[in-house]
Chains A and B, each alone.
Chain A
């Protein structure tokens, strides 16, 4: 029999419903897999094995009772450590929150618990989701299961590595500038950045509130759709969550993209992209054409300003959001002084890591008197232009196709210059600025390392891009590949 950890979510859900396997068996298979490979991968900040087995037993009871069950009932899932889990450590990858146990669940956790998922653990990440390699975690590096010398991408690197290594069947991450799509690209996964407002942010530790979205990682498009379905929808505790009805995502999976119009943004062929990545993405575009899609060139003329606008807006929002870490209410607190200001300054000096400080500094600078108009206001205007570029493109095409990341997985320690690391997100950032939907899907391999293909859809276009992802998978089968050396 195939190892249970290699099943897809939809396969496992069928077997659970038919009572051919139990959730306890499925969960034990994943906990055993964690025991076997986690020492090498280091995807988890916390493995919740006791909780997982208890939740698996509850799921089995629910299935036995004949009650109506969700496609995720009894499925082992990993959660990025930036999503609040009641009474369970939620560190955001930071010393600041090393011992923090939230008094409440994020809305997505309430939904997932109501669906009787099995949580196997919390996953490692760049501190406060700031980074593209997970090397900014205050605790340890996560290794890419495809090559343990390399980074899994970031900031949701632990969530990506856990699924790529078979330690969880699916996972959730957060994407502020590419933190789901880029690690999905580097780990051969499907990673969805939903439309801004599609998923409640309540209980997601804030980084850039106008950009952040929670989304899933999966080993195929159908699983990704099921994982998104479970968390999407309006939430009264997040005023930016959308009242738009949530469609049945897998209902659109016809396997055909005949007659669809796909745009190739000309500004996305940029210097700094590895030639092999360009070659593979171009071949994928040809494949989509052969599958019956009409391929047209489109222009997103303000693309070149994307990274710059993002590195004003995201740090500006972060500098405000992270002002709450003052050592008073929760988190790390410097206590060796009676002076209020000194306590606050040293709390933040010792509690935050280098990248977080850099962004707080950059954001505070951009918002400070004398620089506000030149930086922040200018960036917000450019954001409007980038949004308009997409609106004009989506008036002509159903979706856009591009590389997800300019490179394959890079070696741990290889990128030491902060600005060079920022360029990892050159293809993913514009979608966050415009608040549209995006997904990275397995697009092939360059010398054994995964290359991701990014599909961008309009706002609330998840149905369209997931349908393309599913059809592409049926043709290519890249998503069925596993890392060999684990």
Chain B
């Protein structure tokens, strides 16, 4: 069973806003899921190296040559807010 504080901390790490009720729901649901997948700890993995991906390729490189890209107005077409061909965001630095 994971506690409320852990749920709140993970939500903060994930930048996921959450109501008090959500915290309760996730605490219950995540506990059930983690309980069910606990069996993973029983696997004998001594001497086994981890697999990060299923691709059978390694170190795929290509020539470092510039390719044509898109004009800014195309890339900004889906932006929630913009100004002078830039994304407009809330102030990042605090203070004056």
Binding site for B on A (CB under 8 A): 99-101, 103-104, 196-197, 209-211, 236, 239-240, 242-243, 302, 304-305, 307-309, 311-312, 319, 323, 326-331, 333, 335, 337-346, 348-350, 352, 357-358, 360-362, 364-365, 368, 374-375, 377-385, 387, 417-419, 422, 432-435, 459
Contacts and interface: CB of A to CB of B under 8 A. Distances in A.
Contacts of A331: 78, 80
Contacts, number: 174
13 contacts: A101-B77, A302-B43, A308-B39, A311-B37, A312-B40, A328-B79, A335-B81, A338-B91, A343-B90, A348-B15, A381-B48, A384-B49, A418-B32
Contacts of A341: 15
A384 B40 contact: no
A83 B37 CA distance: 31
Counting chain A CB atoms within 10 Å of each CB, the highest count among B6, B14, B92 belongs to: B14
B45 A333 contact: no
Given A378-B43, A435-B56, A328 B17 contact: no
A418 B28 CA distance: 11
Contact of A378 (B36, B45, B77): B45
Contacts of A333: 80-81
Contact of B87 (A305, A329, A342, A422): A329
A361 B11 contact: yes
> Which secondary structure characterizes the binding site on chain B?
loop
A355 to B, nearest CB: 10
A458 to B, nearest CB: 11
B89 A340 contact: yes
A341 B55 CA distance: 36
A210 B53 CA distance: 5
Contacts of B49: 381, 384
A380 B52 contact: yes
Interface residues of B, number: 52
A346 to B, nearest CB: 5
A350 B18 CA distance: 9
A345 B17 CA distance: 4
A378 B53 CA distance: 14
A381 B10 contact: no
Contact of A357 (B26, B50, B55): B26
Contact of B30 (A319, A335, A361, A459): A361
A394 to B, nearest CB: 14
A387 B51 contact: yes
A248 B17 CA distance: 50
Given A308-B36, A384-B50, A101 B78 contact: yes
Given A340-B89, A365-B30, A384-B51, A327 B80 contact: yes
Nearest to B73: A103
Contact of A103 (B11, B75, B80): B75
A372 to B, nearest CB: 11
B55 to A, nearest CB: 4
Given A384-B48, A432-B54, A340 B91 contact: yes
Contacts of B75: 103
B30 A362 contact: yes
Interface string B24-49: 00100110111011111101010011
B80 A335 contact: yes
Nearest to B46: A381
A242 B50 contact: no
B78 A100 contact: yes
Per CB-CB distance, the 4 closest pairs between chain A and chain B, nearest first, are A435-B54, A349-B17, A380-B50, A333-B80
B61 to A, nearest CB: 9
B5 interface: no
Nearest to B39: A308
Contacts of A385: 43, 45, 48
